[in-house]
């Protein structure tokens, strides 16, 4: 007999852990800037509609498959569709995807820690110089920070579901909320802050194009940690008395609120630095914004609050994003870890050790993609662009396979596992769900238009990324 499966200890613990996974690097800067550039309030509205109408049902599908089978994604597909190789492939993809995304996310988390340490050491002026980022990510220092990040993540995961993942979320998430609110309050007192708020919130529907709608959906899908096997895995640690529908709603609400509130921190800061900012010129990538742009803004605060004050604000910001990254990283690495434990029977410790070895090697390789090694930097090329190992991981797994995984889970739950089983699982522990309009909506949407939308996103991404062909302008 194997040991009984680990479980989250409380409903709030599960919600915080899942929200910890969802609230990530993208929430803090990527989302607010994408919103401002793409129509402000108009983007926010479309985003909210996608969260509610598309992402929430997919979230329910993932969690229910996990809780029903009490298995990692690979085991879950195999349990519900035994001896069906095509579904086994879906299970594989749902484990391989987080494994690969974990690599690039670790690289960024390592940089965050490096910046945090340097700010605390008094190096904010240095970080605000344009050439610092490039030289930092190519220095051997990053391997020290990498060892630290690996140590923190593995320490949390080694504690198990209740004493590790849940406990960490219960500490890190409330700290994150407090730091975020403190920064918002501070930033709103700066000169010109409200110009930023205006840009962020005032809707401009003329900016809404097919590409913007696609971007809003992709952002919502990533942000809620869908398509990465995470919510199947976390669902597998849920007891039957834990109501999935209402917990999922709270997770979606928390993630969206944090992204929204982050906008009230970032946009006012940008506008108070330069009231004539043209948001169209801001970088599209969270990486460029966090590591190259924001340090300049923080440094400029020294005019009003002194160097120590400016460094303190910068340190709080980097600590906040670091916490967001750690809870996401923990969730994504738990997926392959659960898959190894479930399929080999290895102990948590051994499984983590084994995973650490392969993940560590691949992460080191990925982190040399920025000029340290030529072959990882110019790894391949497609659609007329040279791509590094890091770029390929982002393109293939983050951009392309996520919507495919979402599409597969939708088809799986409705047409293979069957609607009645899905409903039964979602009704278990949630008396209000049975017969509700929401239940009918989930049944209809997951079986019809959600997979169609995800298929279109997938095809569009493939055409654009690998063939340079733009369908929607």
Cα angle 309, 295, 187 (rounded to 5 degrees) comes to 55
- As a dihedral over the C-alpha atoms of residue 116, residue 117, residue 122, residue 125, rounded to 10 degrees, the angle is -50
| Of 449, 450, 379, 447, the residue nearest 227 (C-alpha) | 450
170-199: contacts with ligand PFF (CB under 6 A) = none
Instruction: Name which position in 35, 332, 352, 394 contacts ligand PFF (CB under 6 A).
Output: 332
Nearer to ligand PFF, 100 or 299 (CB): 100
Q: Which residue has the tokens 């749902």?
A: 94
Q: Which of 100, 176, 265, 329 binds ligand PFF (CB under 6 A)?
A: 329
Nearer to ligand PFF, 195 or 226 (CB): 226
Kindly tell me which of 22 and 137 has the beta carbon lying closer to ligand PFF: 22
Query: Of the ranges 149-157, 173-181, 190-198, 327-335, which one interacts with ligand PFF (CB under 6 A)?
Result: 327-335
Residue from 101, 290, 301, 422 in contact with ligand PFF (CB under 6 A)? 101
Nearer to ligand PFF, 90 or 328 (CB): 328
Cβ proximity to ligand PFF: between 256 and 388 the closer is: 256
What minimum distance in Å lies between the beta carbon of 413 and ligand PFF?
21
Q: DSSP letter at 71?
A: S
The count of residues in the chain is 473
- Residues 210-229 contacting ligand PFF, CB under 6 A: 222-223, 225
In the list 57, 102, 164, 336, the residue contacting ligand PFF (rule: CB under 6 A) is: 102
- Rounded to a whole number of angstroms, the minimum distance from the CB of residue 21 to ligand PFF is 5
| Contacts of ligand PFF in 1-30 (CB under 6 A) | 21-22, 24-27
Long-range contacts of 352-361 (CB under 8 A, 24+ apart): 352/154, 352/157, 352/158, 356/150, 356/154, 359/99, 359/102, 359/103, 359/106, 359/333, 360/146, 360/150
Q: Which residue is nearest to ligand PFF (CB)?
A: 24
Closest separation in Å from C-beta 454 to ligand PFF? 17
- Which contacts (CB < 8 Å, 24+ apart) does range 82-86 have? 84/416
Residue 160 to residue 272: CA distance in whole angstroms: 44
Residue for token digits 């993208």? 26
Contact (Cβ atoms closer than 8 angstroms) between residue 125 and residue 302: no
- CA dist 151 and 6 (Å) reads 22
Smallest distance from ligand PFF to CB 329, Å:
5
Check: CB of residue 129 under 8 Å from CB of residue 115.
no
Q: How many residues bind ligand PFF (CB under 6 A)?
A: 16
Measured between alpha carbons, how far apart are the two ends of the chain, in Å?
Answer: 57
- Choose the binding region for ligand PFF from 289-297, 325-333, 411-419, 462-470 (rule: CB under 6 A): 325-333
**Residues forming beta bridges with residue 387, ordered by sequence position:** 380
State the minimum distance, in angstroms, from the CB of residue 105 to ligand PFF: 4
CA distance 358 to 368: 16
Return the CA Rg of the chain. Answer: 22
Based on CB atoms, which residue is closest to ligand PFF, 299 or 326? 326
- For 451, other C-beta atoms within 10 Å of its C-beta total 22
Site for ligand PFF in 116-175 (CB under 6 A): none
Question: Interface with ligand PFF by CB under 6 A: which range of 42-50, 307-315, 323-331, 458-466?
Answer: 323-331
Q: Quick one: 27 or 443, whose CB is closer to ligand PFF?
A: 27
Which segment (83-91, 178-186, 268-276, 329-337) binds ligand PFF by CB under 6 A?
329-337
CB of 286 to ligand PFF, least distance (A): 9
Which residues, at least 6 apart from 1, have a Cβ–Cβ distance to it below 8 Å?
none
What would the DSSP string read from start to end of 209-262? Answer: -HHHHHHHHHHHHHHTTTTSSHHHHHHTT--TTS-HHHHHHHHHHHHHHHHHHH
Position 403 contacts ligand PFF (CB under 6 A): no
Site residues, ligand PFF (CB under 6 A): 21-22, 24-27, 101-102, 105, 222-223, 225, 328-329, 331-332
């Amino acid at each position: 007999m194997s040991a009984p499966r680990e479980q989250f200890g409380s409903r709030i613990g599960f919600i915080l852990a899942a929200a910890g996974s969802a609230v990530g690097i993208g929430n803090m800067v990527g989302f607010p800037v994408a919103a401002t550039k793409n129509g402000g309030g108009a983007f926010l509205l479309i985003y909210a509609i996608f969260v509610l109408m598309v992402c929430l049902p997919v979230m329910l599908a993932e969690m229910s498959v996990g809780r029903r089978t009490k298995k990692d994604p690979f085991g879950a597909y195999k349990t519900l569709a035994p001896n069906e190789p095509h579904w086994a492939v879906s299970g594989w993809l749902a484990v391989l995807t987080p494994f690969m995304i974990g690599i690039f996310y670790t690289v960024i988390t390592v940089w965050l820690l490096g910046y945090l340490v340097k700010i605390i050491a008094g190096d904010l002026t240095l970080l605000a110089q344009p050439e610092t980022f490039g030289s930092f990510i190519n220095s051997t220092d990053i391997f020290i920070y990498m060892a630290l990040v690996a140590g923190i993540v593995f320490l949390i995961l080694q504690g198990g579901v209740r004493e590790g993942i849940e406990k960490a979320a219960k500490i890190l998430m409330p700290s994150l909320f407090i730091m975020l609110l403190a920064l918002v309050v501070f930033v709103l007192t700066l000169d010109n802050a409200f110009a930023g708020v205006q840009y962020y919130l005032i809707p401009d529907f003329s900016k809404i194009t097919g590409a913007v709608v696609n971007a809003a959906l992709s952002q919502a899908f990533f942000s809620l940690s869908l398509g990465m096997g995470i919510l199947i895995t976390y669902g597998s640690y849920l007891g039957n008395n834990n109501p999935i529908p209402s917990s999922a709603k709270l997770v979606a609400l928390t993630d969206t609120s944090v992204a929204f509130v982050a906008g009230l921190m970032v946009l006012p800061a940008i506008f108070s630095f330069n009231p004539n900012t043209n948001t169209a010129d801001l970088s599209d990538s969270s990486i460029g914004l966090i590591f190259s742009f924001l340090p300049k803004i923080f440094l400029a605060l020294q005019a009003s609050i002194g160097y120590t004050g400016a460094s303190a604000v910068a340190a709080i910001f980097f600590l906040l994003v670091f916490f967001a990254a750690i809870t996401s990283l923990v969730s994504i690495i738990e997926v392959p870890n659960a898959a190894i434990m479930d399929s080999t029977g290895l102990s948590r410790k051994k499984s983590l050790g084994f995973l650490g070895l392969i993940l560590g090697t691949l992460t080191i390789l990925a982190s040399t993609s920025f000029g340290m090694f030529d072959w990882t930097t110019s790894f391949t090329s497609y659609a007329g662009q040279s791509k590094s190992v890091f770029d390929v991981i982002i393109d293939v797994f983050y951009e392309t396979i996520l919507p495919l995984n979402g599409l597969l889970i939708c088809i799986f739950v409705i047409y293979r596992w069957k609607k009645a089983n899905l409903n039964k699982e979602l009704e278990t522990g949630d008396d209000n769900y049975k017969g509700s309009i929401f239940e009918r909506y989930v049944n209809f949407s997951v079986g019809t238009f959600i997979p169609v939308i995800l298929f279109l996103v997938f095809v569009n991404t493939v055409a654009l990324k690998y063939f340079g062909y733009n369908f929607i302008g």
